[in-house]
Structure 1
Amino acid sequence: MKRLVLALQLMTRLPLPSIEADEVDFAGAIGWFPAAGMVVGLAVAGMACLGLRIDPWVGALSGLVAWVAVTGALHLDGLGDIADGAGAAHGYRDGDSDQDRARLLTVLADPHIGSFGVVAIVLQLLAKLVLLRFWLEVFPPWMMVPLAMTARIGPLVWTRCLPSLHEGLADRFRAGWRAGPLILWAALGLLCGIRAPGLLAWIVMIPLWGWWLRRRIGGISGDGHGAGIELLESGSLLIMLVSR
């Protein structure tokens, strides 16, 4: 349970009690990221249900506000940073340009957001709002739980398959990676696809995002994880709508 609490503290802004944990427990928390996604999905579904009593657009907006609030916009911040980094390192390809790599790392370390980041975050919020509005007409709100859960299978794959972009928080999880949690959550994700085949979108989107990060950014970081989660969530909403 300690690692689950740590995962919730890392992936959400829920008011949880402080706990004592060593480096092993901290690293092992990565195995519980999909569980944290289920909690996020519950929060979004609950607020969307309340909003739907008024109007579908209010339901979508309520769900989106809960989405941002429960995660503390953590993943949106990662999306903005990756967008800024990709714009700054336009010539970087797998280490071919040391100058572009240095510029990339400088941008990712900068706490300020640039124009690329602002555009990416605004577009992501608009996409989620519109997609969620029509998604709620087709699917019951509780299906946000498996959607948010499968999006957080991504970090378990990217941590294993991609090199670290730099030393940081995300790099510490590499020591805690185990095949067992990945297999368990992947199996659960496949079972969810029985109810709605569109939920299987993660099977394609996770390796696709990993490939893009390797080619365009050069590796994985906390920002890469956050951006990937955001894109998997909005991508799953879209694919579920198209494949219904």
Structure 2
Amino acid sequence: MWLSFQIALQFLTIIPVSYASASDQQLGRSLVFYPVIGLIIGLILSGLISVLPVSYSLLSAALLLTAWVLLTGGLHIDGLADSADAWLGGIGNKQRTLEIMKDPAAGPIAVVVLTLSLLIKLALVEIVISSGETSALIWSIILARTAMPLLFLTTDYVRPNGIGAVLKQCLPVKQVKWMLLITTVIALFCLGFTPLLLGLIVFLLHRYTMEHRLDGFTGDTAGAMVELLEISFLLFLILF
């Protein structure tokens, strides 16, 4: 289990981790630790908030957002950019959509979507810093990553190979279900019902678009989902 934790930490952050090798089963079990990695990311960012100047909240928000992107290696932002390009360029054509997502070049729609998403995040982070509600930031990161195992549990992976295919094939169903149950119960106790319900609606809408367009999901659309859920949960937790 320790190795599976290390795999999750290496995949979701830039924190240096070294291990000799891992089996497909250990890769699959890494999904169980995604909420824990979200907690680690959230605690690191909340620690940074404590040393940033509140009187310059916009500057502090920009620095924190930069640290957030760097800490996660821009993984989910990249998925959002690729998905944005593919959704526009591959309208009505599943294969074309998949091909565009594999293209490393970013088109205009990707730039626009990334700019807007980062601007919204910047505004939300500034509110967190000004209000001192760091728990909203931590929980938004945890819950967005909790949605990844849920997606693997409930949705087909459309590409025939790659790490996503391995994770789907070796998913520890029972352990993931227990993890989802425990995380949900703790979140309900800490946050209440409304933010979780609204977050679930965003998840289901995103899942529906993936099913409708691709008959499943890819690594890019999963990354886009995390990015959108981070924004959604942070917004809901600030509002409610």
Both proteins in one fold, TM over 0.5: yes
Query: So what's the TM-score if we normalise by structure 2?
Result: 0.90
Query: How many matched pairs?
Result: 235
What are the within-5 Å matches in structure 2 for residues 51-130 of structure 1?
A: 51-91=52-92, 100-130=93-123
Aligned-partner Cα distance in 1 for 2:3–2:71 = 20
Shift of 1:202: 3.0
Determine if contact 1:48/1:62 at 8 Å carries over to the other structure: no
In the aligned structure 2, how far is the partner of 1:19 from the partner of 1:144?
34
The reply to whether residue 187 of structure 1 matches residue 182 of structure 2 is: yes
Shift of 1:84: 0.7
What displacement does 1:142 show?
A: 4.3
Cα gap change, 1:19 to 1:207, in 2 (>3 Å) = farther
Whether the aligned pair in 2 keeps the contact of 1:42 and 1:142 (CA below 8 Å) is no
SS at match of 2:179: helix
| Equivalent AA in structure 2 for residue 206 of structure 1 | F
Q: Give me the whole-angstrom Cα distance separating, in 1, the residues matched to 2:202 and 2:65.
A: 22
CA distance in structure 2 between the partners assigned to 1:108 and 1:18 by the alignment? 30
Using the TM superposition, name which of 201-210 and 114-123 deviates more: 201-210
- Structure 1 window deviating more from structure 2 (163-172 vs 47-56): it is 47-56
- Structure 2 gaps of 5+ residues are none
Conserved? CA contact 2:32–2:179, under 8 Å: no
* Match status 1:215 vs 2:208: no
Q: 1:1-244, aligned counterparts within 5 Å? A: 1-91=2-92, 100-167=93-160, 168-177=162-171, 178-197=173-192, 199-200=195-196, 201-243=198-240
The 1:76/1:38 distance shift into structure 2, 3 A limit, reads same
| CA contact 2:86–2:100 (8 Å) conserved in 1 | yes
Q: Note closer, same or farther for the CA distance 1:52–1:194 as it changes in structure 2 (3 Å cut).
A: farther
Give SS of 1:51's match. Answer: coil
Q: CA deviation at 1:199?
A: 4.5
Tell me if structure 2 keeps the 8 A contact 1:13–1:69. Answer: yes
Amino acid at match of 2:129: L
Change (3 A) 1:182 1:206: farther
Tell me: CA distance 1:48–1:56, structure 2 relative to 1, closer, same or farther (3 Å).
same
Task: Give unpaired runs (5+ residues) of structure 1.
Answer: 92-99
TM-score, reference length from structure 1: 0.88
Q: State the distance in 1 between where 2:27 and 2:50 align.
A: 34
Find the residue that maps to 2:51 and give its secondary structure. helix
RMSD, aligned CA: 1.9
Paired AA for residue 157 in structure 1: L
Q: Cα distance, 1:185 vs. partner?
A: 3.4
